[in-house]
Amino acid sequence: MVSGIVFLDKPRGWSSRRAVNEVARLFGTNRKPRLKAGHAGTLDPLATGMLPILLGEATRFAELGLIAEKRYTVTMDLAYQTDTLDAEGETTARFAGEPTLAQIQAVLARFRGTYAQMPPRYSALHVGGRRAHALARQGAEFTLDPRPVDIRELILIRYEWPELVLQVRCSKGTYIRALARDIGDALAVGGCVVQLRRLSTGGWPESMMVTPEQLAERRAAALVPVSIWLKRLTAMHLDQEQCRRFLLGQRLRMEDSRISDGLVAVYGDGILLGTGELLPGEGGCAVLHPCRILPSAQEQCLG
């Protein structure tokens, strides 16, 4: 059974859905049901770079990528803006002013840290059960609510009018197109994204990425085990009886009061069982609540 993660270097022009389908096809068989597959964080078709694609049981842990911080390089054109906020849209305005380097540095300082960001109208957010981008293309009137994002790093790489190149490290939910728009608005110019590359998701290095061509040549070597995907979680090892109860979905009282609260990767006899959450219990003890349990572990350990 295929299970693991591929850190795809997504090509420009591919949607995230196409990337998932292409990877699933490479690992799939003619058997039914079809191989489950998903991604851990959408990339626009214009964007390239790291798109973690999860296969089989790994899809149960996609949230770790969705909530992780991301790192990008973005090239924005300050001379114009479009309806989609990137080079694939229709031009809505042009600008002739040329901000100075000092002005740009001052504006960038304002966006470091937490600020309320208005998502782009052309986005995958749901509005009344429909995608915002679908409504926008139909010319429908709708509103989106601003939401807090954390810009943890915003570095000026190069500025030569009209292009501004930045490196961004940011929290989940940050739209780089919206950040470029907001920076442009603060400078009274445009802010159209013409190039965008995701360098990292959750701190995974660029060296993990494989192109579609490399993946086709060495599928097995490119498939990262689920246990590696979970390696940043604290590992908790259970005895045989605890394993049985965990795999049956039962909560476990952990007597070791030194155990800290939070999400953990749960193992039994060297086998990954799934993930659990440690929450405070009575008497200073923690209680392990099962979160995601692997069916393969249930089959292997419970018969």
Encoded tokens for 219: 């599928």
Residues 185 and 76 both lie in one domain: yes
pLDDT of residue 132: 80
Residues 39 and 185 both lie in one domain: no
**DSSP H helical segments within the chain, as ranges?**
16-27, 63-66, 101-111, 132-137, 176-186, 212-217, 219-222, 226-229, 240-247, 295-302
Distance CA 238, CA 255 (A): 12
Residues 100 and 197 both lie in one domain: yes
Give me the CATH number covering residue 286. Answer: 2.30.130.10
Set 44, 77, 86, 182: catalytic member: 44
Distance CA 91, CA 85 (A): 9
Residues 263 and 187 both lie in one domain: no
Residues 89 and 190 both lie in one domain: yes
Give me the domain span that covers residue 189: 70-201
Residues 292 and 263 both lie in one domain: yes
pLDDT of residue 13: 96
Residues 270 and 298 both lie in one domain: yes
Residues 242 and 274 both lie in one domain: yes
Task: Identify the DSSP state of 233.
Answer: S
pLDDT of residue 83: 93
Residues 195 and 121 both lie in one domain: yes
- Could you give the number of structural domains in the chain? 3
pLDDT of residue 258: 55
pLDDT (tens digit, 0 to 9) for every residue of the chain, 303 residues total? 899 999 999 999 999 999 999 999 999 866 656 889 999 989 999 999 999 999 999 999 999 998 999 999 999 999 999 999 999 999 999 999 899 999 999 999 999 999 999 999 877 777 878 888 788 888 888 888 899 999 999 999 999 999 999 999 999 999 999 999 999 999 999 999 999 999 999 999 999 999 999 999 999 999 999 999 999 999 999 999 999 999 999 999 887 645 566 899 999 988 999 999 998 877 678 899 999 999 999 998 886
Main-chain dihedrals φ then ψ at residue 252, nearest 5 degrees: -125, 130
Distance CA 78, CA 188 (A): 9
Q: Residue 116 forms beta bridges with which residues?
A: 148
Biggest distance spanned by C-alpha atoms of the chain: 71
Task: Identify the DSSP state of 59.
Answer: G
> What are the Cα distances from residue 76, in Å, to 3, 7, 239, 262?
38, 26, 55, 39
Residues 115 and 186 both lie in one domain: yes
What residue type is assigned to position 293 of the chain?
I
What residue type is assigned to position 297 of the chain?
A
Give me the CATH number covering residue 150. Answer: 3.30.2350.10
Distance CA 60, CA 79 (A): 43
Residues 74 and 192 both lie in one domain: yes
Residues 194 and 115 both lie in one domain: yes
- Is residue 182 annotated as a catalytic residue, yes or no? no
